[in-house]
Amino acid sequence: MKLIGSRTENLIRERLEKFERIILNNEAIYNLLISNFGEVKHSYCLSQIIEQAEDIYTLLVNGKYVIEFELSRLDYSISDVHVESLNEYSKKIKDKSSKLTLAIAIDLSKK
């Protein structure tokens, strides 16, 4: 997907950058990322699903991998961790909004 610098793209970009700081300041998530990837240069939240007792996150890490996991709101434990390559993940995305968010996260990872 080609980025054109639209207002929508800029809003998504700002949200991804703001949420990156929140993600990396969360000790449980940061430790998960370090244990799976060693060094974490960038981590952008592609989606967050809020459920009753947990939140389900999908993150693009270092512009190469996508990690999905559940974070308990009760004890901040992490479960159901699934890691896949960016290539594998991008083949599964169908809706335009998710494709746009991924394209912007990839672009941010290159900077």
What pLDDT does 3 receive? 86
pTM of the model as a whole: 0.92
What pLDDT does 8 receive? 94
- Number of structural domains in the chain: 1
Whether 17 maps to a domain, the answer reads yes
Q: What is the DSSP string of 82-97?
A: EEEEHHHHHHH--SHH
Whether 28 maps to a domain, the answer reads yes
Whether 32 maps to a domain, the answer reads yes
Whether 34 maps to a domain, the answer reads yes
Among 62, 68, 66, 65, residue whose Cα is nearest residue 108: 62
What pLDDT does 4 receive? 86
Q: What is the mean pLDDT of each run of 10 residues along the chain (111 residues)?
A: 88 95 93 95 95 95 97 94 97 94 95 79
Whether 1 maps to a domain, the answer reads no
List all residues 6 or more positions away from 66 whose beta carbon is below 8 Å from its beta carbon.
Answer: 46, 58, 59, 60, 83, 84, 85, 86, 88, 89
Q: Which two three-digit tokens encode residue 64? A: 């190469």
Distance CA 13, CA 43 (A): 13
List all residues 6 or more positions away from 3 whose beta carbon is below 8 Å from its beta carbon.
Answer: 9, 103, 104, 107
Q: Which two three-digit tokens encode residue 57? A: 């996150």
Whether 2 maps to a domain, the answer reads no
Q: Which domain holds residue 56?
A: 7-109
